[in-house]
Amino acid sequence: MEMIEFKHVTKTYDGNDALIDVSVKINKGDFVFLVGPSGAGKSTFIKLILKEIDADEGSIIVKGEEVTKMSNRKIPRHRRNIGIVFQDFRLLPQKTVYENVAFAMEITHQSKRAIKRNVPQALALMGISEYASKYPSELSAGEQQRVAIARAIVNKPTVLIADEPTGNLDPVTAWEIMKLLEEINARGTTILMVTHAKDIVDRMRKRVIVIEQGRIVRDEFGKYGLGGFRKASAPENDEDFSDEAEESISATEQAMGGYSDMTSRSTTQIVKEEVESQIRDEGSEAVDESAVEDAFAKAERLLARHE
């Protein structure tokens, strides 16, 4: 069953095409990564699903309902079926953890009985029951993101949209959040995650939709692709990531000598060429693509650290 379907959707802003003739289906229970460079059309894709904006052409169907023709009266009910997690958490600072999560139910006029039942369940699923009376300022970034996810799922949405949910987190915490999202998905929620975290995408091996210049250029299960856009976030295992990261960065630093005067090419291209060159210098005529991708991810991690 299709949960989200775009049929030949085009959206233009002031004469500039944000999405061009996009057709795609996301099925119930899918976990999909939406990736692409800044300005590619990812935000427009999300806003169209939420009906924050309207398409100029084409049709959008969410959970069997035609969104493009939906009346204003039906929009609040439509959005209740979609949970949203943001990169910057967007918690209410004057409310406790419990109150932040409960607020998502209060604004949809849920009963007090339902709130008392659902909020503790959501907090428990995120492993933050003991923080119920704390305020956002008393929590770490990872804990705040757990609260944000609890708020997003407390109304039991059929779709969860995660917009760069690991962007403000350290690598180990980012991976913990990904495991929580995977658990939510295993319970039947369709997840659409916008991200630039190449190594998370590569490791999880889910469906990847790539948007570039308003068009879907790739839609398949597997990896982000060799031309990743920025930063790495997922550790290779569930143990402390720091030792492995330092070793990787140290080795990569040696492969990055002289970048400062190589201004005629993009940083991404320079990294790729230098990594390939280093692997060749180690005695292999043919470059193992998987080895290049692994080394490239480490180089990107270094670049993110220096930005």
pLDDT in tens, 50-60: 999 999 999 99
Residues 255 and 191 occupy one common structural domain: no
Q: What is the pLDDT of residues 217-254, one digit of tens each?
A: 999 998 886 444 433 334 444 444 334 434 433 333 33
As for how many domains the chain has, the answer is 2
Residues 138 and 278 occupy one common structural domain: no
* Amino acid at site 212: E
| pLDDT given for residue 298 in this prediction | 54
Residue 235 falls within a domain, yes or no?
no
Domain that holds residue 146: 2-221
- Residue that terminates a domain, selected from 221, 250, 279: 221
Which residues are registered as beta bridge partners of 194? 34, 163
Per-residue CA distances from 291 to 122, 199, 275 (Å): 40, 13, 9
DSSP 237: S
Query: What is the SS3 string spanning 7-61?
Result: EEEEEEECCEEEEEEEEEEEECCCEEEEECCCCCCHHHHHHHHHCCCCCCEEEEE
Residue 217 falls within a domain, yes or no?
yes
Residues 66 and 122 occupy one common structural domain: yes
Residues 109 and 154 occupy one common structural domain: yes
Report the SS3 class of residue 154: coil
| pLDDT given for residue 277 in this prediction | 52
Residues 151 and 263 occupy one common structural domain: no
Residues 121 and 197 occupy one common structural domain: yes
User: Which residues in the chain land under pLDDT 50?
Assistant: 226-271, 275, 278-282, 284-287, 302, 304-307
| pLDDT given for residue 199 in this prediction | 86
Residues 96 and 149 occupy one common structural domain: yes
Alpha helices in 187-241 (DSSP H): 198-204
Residue 233 falls within a domain, yes or no?
no
Residues 157 and 196 occupy one common structural domain: yes
Residue 228 falls within a domain, yes or no?
no
Residues 262 and 142 occupy one common structural domain: no
Q: How far is CA 240 from the centre of its chain?
A: 23
Residues 149 and 291 occupy one common structural domain: no
* Amino acid at site 174: A
Per-residue CA distances from 72 to 11, 53, 160, 179, 271 (Å): 20, 12, 22, 36, 49
Tell me how far apart the alpha carbons of residues 99 and 20 are, in angstroms, rounded to a whole number: 41
Q: Where residue 140 sits, what CATH number does that domain have?
A: 3.40.50.300
Q: Are 204 and 17 in contact (CB under 8 A)?
A: no
| pLDDT given for residue 290 in this prediction | 53
| pLDDT given for residue 264 in this prediction | 34
Which residues are registered as beta bridge partners of 83? 160
- Residue that terminates a domain, selected from 189, 221, 253: 221
Q: Report which of 118, 127, 101, 245 is spatially closest to residue 179, judged by C-alpha positions.
A: 127
Residue 144 falls within a domain, yes or no?
yes
